[in-house]
Amino acid sequence: MQTRTEKIRQAAKRVLAEGKADLVIGFREGTVPLKTAPHFARTEAECDLLVWNSHCRLNLANFLPRRKDRVAVVAKGCDARNIVNHIVEKQIEQEQVYIIGVPCEGMVEPALIAEKEGRTVESASETDGRIILKGKDFTTEVDRAEVLRQNCLTCAHRNPSVHDELVVDPVPELEGVDRYADLKDLLARSDGERYEYYTSLVQTCIRCYACRDACPLCYCHVCFVDETMPQWVGKSVDPADVMTYHILRAFHCAGRCTDCGACEAACPMDIKVRQFTRLLEKDVKELYNYETGLSPTDQPPLTVYRPNDPQEFIK
């Protein structure tokens, strides 16, 4: 991780010095432990604040739509796929983006760390796959591999699919993982149990829209939740309104989601919002054999059709 931080800083300074971009978007240390914050670096001094660690959970592709300047982005595998998706959806020109690719070994889930270490962590660092937690009167370690996020454990594209440079050598891709094993178990249950499951998932939702704001796909000028004439989504925290919001949010990501997990990372109530998007991601892969953001010449699956698309359910 230390090498990645150093290499990212060097790359960022070089990109700015060579005039390939007006600014570099990356991560800096957060104000609380186990978090990072997005960082916009325009000068050499600002580049020295860039970091890379196991907490770069947000998706920096989120800052690209409608930009007019040239941007370099520090991108892990999923970020790069979302940048490609922005190019596909014509939200930014390919010439405007310089991708500083970071082969990614997964990000960690703070909730899992909290399960292992209940005491308040005041600072954290990491070496050789161990995360060292320091708090008042204690220092302890957890194994990084044991607290990885679920989407990182089953990641299919750890290396950026498209990049202008890589800061370190590519990491081996995971072999033989079933991305949807848990979904298959869920779908084998009765419809009543599945309804219960999804209803209970969003029970604590406070409708803060953090999942929408963290998502690089959500760049509409007027979001459907803000529409008032007509108003399709109720604004209350009534279970039906909350469910409608989550279904529609996920549906808007159909065929576009890279399962980067930024939505879950942003959720203040720790709701597993990916369980909605993954249903669609799985179907898009199985029915239309499409994975988002692998090439800038892709055709998004909902903008095309084939005469023989599956339609068994239509009478």
Partner 1 sequence: MPAFSPRSRLRYKDDVMSDEFEPKIVAFFCNWCTYGGADLAGVSRLQYPPNFRAIRLPCTGRMSPKFILEAFRRGADGVWVSGCHPGDCHFIAGNLYARRKFTLLHNMLLNMGLEPGRLHFSWISSAEATKFQDVAIRVIEAVKAAGPNERFVKHRIEVA
Residues interacting with partner 1, by CB under 8 A? 187, 191-199, 224, 232-234, 238, 240-241, 243-244, 247-248, 250-251, 254-255, 276, 279-280, 283-284, 287-288, 301-303, 305, 307, 309-311, 313-315
Task: Kindly state the smallest distance separating residue 96's Cβ from partner 1, in Å.
Answer: 30
Q: Please, which residue, 138 or 195, has the CB nearer to partner 1? A: 195
Q: What count of other Cβ atoms lies within 10 Å of the Cβ of residue 58? A: 22
Q: How far is the CB of 307 from partner 1 (least distance, A)?
A: 7
Nearer to partner 1, 2 or 299 (CB): 299
DSSP 51: E
> What CA–CA distance (Å, rounded) separates 79 from 61?
6
Smallest gap, in angstroms, from Cβ of residue 274 to partner 1?
Answer: 14
Question: What Cα–Cα distance (Å) separates residue 217 from each residue in 64, 77, 262, 293?
Answer: 10, 16, 11, 12
Q: Shortest distance, CB of residue 121 to partner 1, whole angstroms? A: 36
Nearer to partner 1, 141 or 227 (CB): 227
77-104 b/e (C-beta count within 10 Å ≥ 16 → b):
bbbbbbbbbbbbeebbeeebbbbbbbbb
- Report the sign of the C-alpha dihedral through residues 288, 182, 274, 54, in that order: negative
Nearer to partner 1, 25 or 242 (CB): 242
Which residues does 286 contact at the CB level (< 8 Å), separation at least 6? none
d(CA 192, CA 152): 30
Q: Minimum distance from CB of 309 to partner 1 (Å)?
A: 6
**Any residues with CB less than 8 A from the CB of 141 and at least 6 apart, and which?**
130, 131, 132, 133
CB of 238 to partner 1, least distance (A): 6
Q: Which is nearer to partner 1, 90 or 315 (CB)?
A: 315
Q: Which is nearer to partner 1, 54 or 258 (CB)?
A: 258
Smallest Cα–Cα separation from 287: which of 304, 270, 274?
304
Question: Residue 222 or 314: which CB sits closer to partner 1?
Answer: 314
What's the closest the beta carbon of residue 68 comes to partner 1, in angstroms? 32
